[in-house]
């Protein structure tokens, strides 16, 4: 009974696989074969503590046989939800990420030390690790709601995107602080 529970847990942890059958591309060398996958961030394993992806992540692209291997390219469409690092407001953004990768079947007679090529076994290419990596690595370091976000007032904490708070936020050069003190004494 304990073994059955362990197997069930493994299936819950296992990430969703996006497998492309290369036999279709082999039938039509050089011609692009389209594909479409729709998956959640949890199924893909694209979970981050600073943001989430709302709804489904759509992966649309095409693959083709190149003679030496297979070229897989396309776009990832998703909606990212996050708290803005400047104004601390909840925000979401539509994102599109492009990918273009070369795959080669292991043992196909070509050198396997090329770092620009991904290797696979069998008749199917699982692109889910590549999609997860592209999605997570293309995220900016700072989550900003828009390029013009003014952030919070350093004195009162008001969101400056909603209007000016009236605080004096003048920053004086420390080298000229002594002169400023002389002016305020008069």
Domain spans, the chain? 2-149, 153-186
From first to last of the 186 residues of the chain, give the pLDDT tens digit.
333 333 333 333 344 678 888 888 888 888 888 999 999 999 998 889 999 999 999 999 999 988 888 999 999 999 999 999 999 999 999 999 999 999 988 876 666 666 677 888 888 899 999 999 999 999 999 999 999 999 999 889 899 999 998 888 777 778 877 777 777 776
| Whole-number Å distance between alpha carbons of 88 and 82 | 9
Indicate the Cα dihedral angle 119, 102, 70, 62, nearest 10°.
130
Indicate the Cα dihedral angle 122, 125, 126, 129, nearest 10°.
120
Claim: this prediction has a pTM higher than 0.85: no
Single out the residue of 104, 142, 102, 100 nearest to residue 121, CA to CA. Answer: 104
Q: Specify which residues 51 forms β-bridges with.
A: 82
| Whole-number Å distance between alpha carbons of 105 and 51 | 35
Single out the residue of 133, 135, 113, 19 nearest to residue 70, CA to CA. Answer: 19
| Whole-number Å distance between alpha carbons of 94 and 87 | 19
């Amino acid at each position: 009974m304990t073994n059955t529970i362990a197997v069930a847990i493994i299936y819950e942890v296992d990430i969703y696989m996006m497998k492309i059958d290369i036999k279709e591309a082999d039938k039509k060398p050089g011609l692009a074969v389209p594909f479409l996958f729709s998956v959640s961030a949890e199924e893909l394993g694209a979970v981050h503590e600073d943001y989430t992806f709302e709804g489904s992540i759509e992966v649309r692209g095409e693959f083709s046989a190149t003679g030496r291997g297979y070229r897989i390219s396309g776009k990832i469409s998703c909606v990212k939800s996050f708290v803005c690092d400047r104004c601390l407001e909840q925000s979401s953004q539509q994102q599109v990420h492009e990918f273009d990768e070369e795959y080669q079947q292991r043992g196909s007679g070509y050198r396997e030390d090329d770092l620009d090529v991904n290797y696979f076994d069998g008749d199917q290419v699982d692109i889910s690790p590549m999609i997860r990596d592209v999605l997570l690595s293309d995220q900016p370091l700072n989550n900003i709601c828009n390029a013009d976000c003014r952030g919070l007032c350093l004195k009162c904490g008001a969101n400056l995107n909603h209007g000016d708070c009236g605080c004096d936020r003048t920053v004086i050069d420390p080298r000229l602080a002594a002169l400023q003190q002389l002016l305020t004494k008069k």
